[in-house]
Structure 1
Amino acid sequence: MFRYLGSFSQSFTLALMLWPFVSLLLTLPIVAFVYHRNHRLSFTSAFSAYVAVLYALGLVAFTMYPMPDDPTLFCATHNLAPQLDILRFIQDAQTGLYGVLQLVMNVVLFMPLGFMLCRWAGWRFWVTSAFALGCSIFIETSQLTGIWGIYPCAYRQFDVDDMLTNTLGAMLGYACALLYTKLVPKKAKQLTGTNTRPGFVHRMVSMCIDFLLIALVYVPLSILYIFLFYLVFKSTGDGHYVWLSLTVEPRVLDYMTWITAALSFLLFEVWIPWRHHGQTLGCRYTHMTIETRDRSRGQRIAFYAIRTLFFGVIFGGLATNHPIWGWTLLALLIFWLVKKCMPWDLVPGTDPQTPPTSPQPQVSTLPEPNLQR
């Protein structure tokens, strides 16, 4: 058994190494969708998203890696023909413990997929089974084609029995999900309206969505600046560039990029929420507002000034790969754990409402934004 599992050790290590970098990209859309659908995020939902991402990475690592280090030598000495005998698993099971474990592991590998598609996605049995079969066919075909030509030959055997055992595993996982649902029924989590007391994670998810939108604006514009600059300006050979009578240095591109990034940041983090009841685009998608109480004009200016300072440091640190963004986030997290609010939430308001003292979200219906003013 240890010998069999040992053949997957490199893949498991690879999954663990990739997890910190890939998990955020894969988990954020899931968490954002949960907020969009349910208006809040429970611990169970967050843990489910974590497990789903971990499983996806592990499935790729277990089925695609490791590849042989020397492609030329391996392809010259190996010829892995497809295994198309649908009853071959009977002979494999008779070879001993290794053959039995191979069949069992192929079943177990897809059981989480069937469980998740039933319990979390709510798919029907036949849809889940067809999807699992399709995933298995894709994996086996990827192995047969050397991941669609990336590797010069098939480095693992295409086995039709793997498709059967994988699909069987998804079916068993689906059955386990049905049994679990009978024991632990799913709770209705959907809320309506806008969350006026969002938690720390809710705020951070909205911030990530906003920062992504900001990057989608200023990065393409910066690339356009660079392209036009080198298209119009001609090099003088001494580190300067000239167009007509205008002579500049390439560092002007850095200034233009920073100005574009700053304007994009102010657009998404100040102007939009100011005009739309404290809702950035990320907030609107996750159904929250950053303004937890009514404030006068002067109080709102102070509120946005403090928030812009903190978020500006985080955004600038991320843009320049400076560690200050991490320290700022840590400081905000500690502040939240102590005060149950953000520093800018302490700005007084015109209503008697106090900053949130519990993590339980409160939902209200905000008026539609007046786009004509």
Structure 2
Amino acid sequence: MIASLHRLPGHAPSLDPMIGLVARDMEQVNAVIVERMQSEIPLIPELAGHLIAGGGKRLRPMLTLASARLVGYDGDRHHLLAAAVEFIHTATLLHDDVVDGSDLRRGKRTANIIWGNPASVLVGDFLFSRSFELMVAGGSLRALEILSNASAVIAEGEVNQLTAVRRVDLAEERYLDIIGAKTAALFAAACRVAPVIAGRSAAEEAALDAYGRYLGIAFQLVDDAIDYTSDAGTMGKDAGDDFREGKMTLPVILAYARGDEGERTFWRDAVEGRRASDADFAHAVELVRRSRAVDDTFARARHYGQRAIEALAIFGDGAVKDAMVEAVEFAVARAY
């Protein structure tokens, strides 16, 4: 039976079922994280700890643990690989905040604002290095290949996005390539390594890769949409960051394509950095609302979320699968 994104009215999707299922494993992962981020250089654990302990849900390592439960893995190597996933993600965030010049991350001041750009970049490099140590310690050459490839793809996606900034002619296809690389690749790898270390079939490996990939795309689509619908308290970053940075996310791509000549002139000026005031952002919010660009972005997120759920069809029903389905529903429901 294929589950659907459409839950009963009044039900608020939650990560709690997944959190409960992997709680014991997550304790082991957290212990690995704390141990491996230590250094004789005090700034390294101080800066890394600022972000790692900053209130994130650790969805990506939880997906590794849940996927391991789903395929019946009973060893302990998934703890090391889940920690590696979290280090890759954290390193990427440190580098992203430097590139974007961000002031807030999860509602707190970013590491680059507190300690400066050089320290953030170098500690990010340290965490990447630690992640590779953990992959090797995991003892699976195939898992090492999957996660190291994901690291390279993420970097390619970030460079692709950097070269697309302030390009009002960005095509939707390229936008999807960017988010598929910079966000969805790690979701996919986090899920895929579990059946690899469990020695499961290629079909199960492909299914969990697809689940993670589609979930990651849906997750990023929602993130990009709520930049035009939420405040800093909801988002954990400054409202309008994407707008002021000239990022052509899907809401802007759709609003630009549907706008009249005056609206397109506004978008060109905004994307190229000539319209960045609070009033300009308010006007941008009105344009994406009026053109239904945000609604349609959320609809795309639901589409990819449904594909993620359908990818789990080859697995038997049970509490773990239910929790993974609800994780998709939670990711999409952040919009509401």
Determine which structure has more spread, i.e. the larger CA radius of gyration. 1
Shorter-chain TM-score range: 0.3 to 0.5
Taking structure 2 as the reference length, the TM-score comes to 0.32
Structure ranking higher in helix proportion: 2
Higher relative contact order (CA 8 A, sep 6+): 2
Taking structure 1 as the reference length, the TM-score comes to 0.30
